[in-house]
C-alpha cells in the first residue's frame, strides 16, 4: 500500500517517514494552514531529503508564481485543495493531484470524473473552511463508490488504529495521513508512525 505522510514541518519527521517506507511526503504551502511551511524553511527541509522520495506541495488556490517557486526548491508534484480548474491543473509541468471533499450533497461524482483524468484523486473530509488535517473521518461508503471507478487516495482522520479497516473497506490506490500521526500540530510522533507502517505491513502479509 502506498503511504503519503503529509503536513511535515521537521526534517527528522520527514526522514523517519522515508526510512519507514513512505511513498510520498507532503508539505503544506498555503499560509492559512497551521502546518504551513514558509518558502525558506521549505527550501532548507527539501534540500536535506533523499532524492528518491516523492515530494508533494499542497496548495489551496495558489498563484502560478507560488507554484513556480515551490518547483524551484524541490517540489515534484502538486496537490490542490481549492477551486482550481481542470485547465489550470493541466497547465502545470509536473503531475497534479486534485483533492475533493467526501460530500455527497455536492456534485461529487461529476467532479470526480473530471479530475480523475489527471490521475488518482485525493478524497478528504472537510470541516468548515478547513482543508485537510481535520482529523475527521470521511464517508468511506462514498469513497468506495469512487474507488470502484477510479484510483483514489484516501485521506481524512486516518491513524494507526483505523488504517487497516480503511484499506479493507475502501481499497484505495494510496492513503494519506497527517494529523493522525501527530503528537502536536506539525510534529509527528515516531511511535505512531512506526505503528502505522507495521500494521499496514502485517495486513499485506496476512492478505
**Which residues are the active-site residues?**
6, 124
Taking the C-alpha atoms of residue 148 and residue 36, their distance in angstroms, rounded to an integer, is 33
User: For residues 53 and 83, is the Cβ–Cβ distance under 8 A?
Assistant: no
Q: Which H or E element spans position 47?
A: helix 39-47
- Cα dist. 6→37, 56, 104, 132, 202 in Å? 12, 9, 25, 9, 22
* 198 phi, psi to nearest 5 deg: -65, -45
Taking the C-alpha atoms of residue 30 and residue 99, their distance in angstroms, rounded to an integer, is 14
Taking the C-alpha atoms of residue 64 and residue 66, their distance in angstroms, rounded to an integer, is 5
Q: How many CB atoms lie within 10 A of CB 104?
A: 11
Q: Which H or E element spans position 126?
A: strand 126-127
Amino acid at each position: 500500500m502506498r503511504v503519503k505522510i503529509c503536513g511535515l514541518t521537521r526534517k527528522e519527521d520527514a526522514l523517519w517517514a522515508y526510512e519507514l517506507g513512505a511513498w510520498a511526503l507532503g508539505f503544506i504551502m498555503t499560509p492559512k494552514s497551521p502546518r504551513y511551511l514558509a518558502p525558506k524553511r521549505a527550501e532548507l527541509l527539501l534540500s536535506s531529503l533523499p532524492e528518491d522520495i516523492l515530494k508533494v506541495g499542497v496548495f489551496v488556490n495558489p498563484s502560478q508564481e507560488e507554484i513556480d517557486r515551490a518547483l524551484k526548491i524541490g517540489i515534484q508534484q502538486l496537490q490542490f485543495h481549492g477551486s482550481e480548474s481542470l485547465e489550470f491543473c493541466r497547465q502545470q509541468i509536473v503531475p497534479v493531484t486534485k483533492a475533493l471533499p467526501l460530500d455527497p450533497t455536492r456534485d461529487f461524482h461529476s467532479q470526480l470524473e473530471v479530475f480523475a483524468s489527471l490521475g488518482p484523486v485525493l478524497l478528504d473530509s472537510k470541516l468548515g473552511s478547513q482543508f485537510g488535517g481535520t482529523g475527521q473521518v470521511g464517508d468511506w461508503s462514498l469513497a468506495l463508490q469512487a474507488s470502484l471507478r477510479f484510483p483514489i487516495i484516501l485521506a481524512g482522520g486516518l491513524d494507526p488504529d483505523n488504517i487497516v479497516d480503511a484499506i479493507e473497506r475502501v481499497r484505495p490506490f494510496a492513503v494519506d495521513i497527517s494529523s493522525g500521526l501527530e503528537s502536536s500540530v506539525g510534529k509527528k510522533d515516531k511511535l505512531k508512525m512506526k505503528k502505522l507502517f507495521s500494521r499496514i505491513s502485517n495486513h499485506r502479509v496476512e492478505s
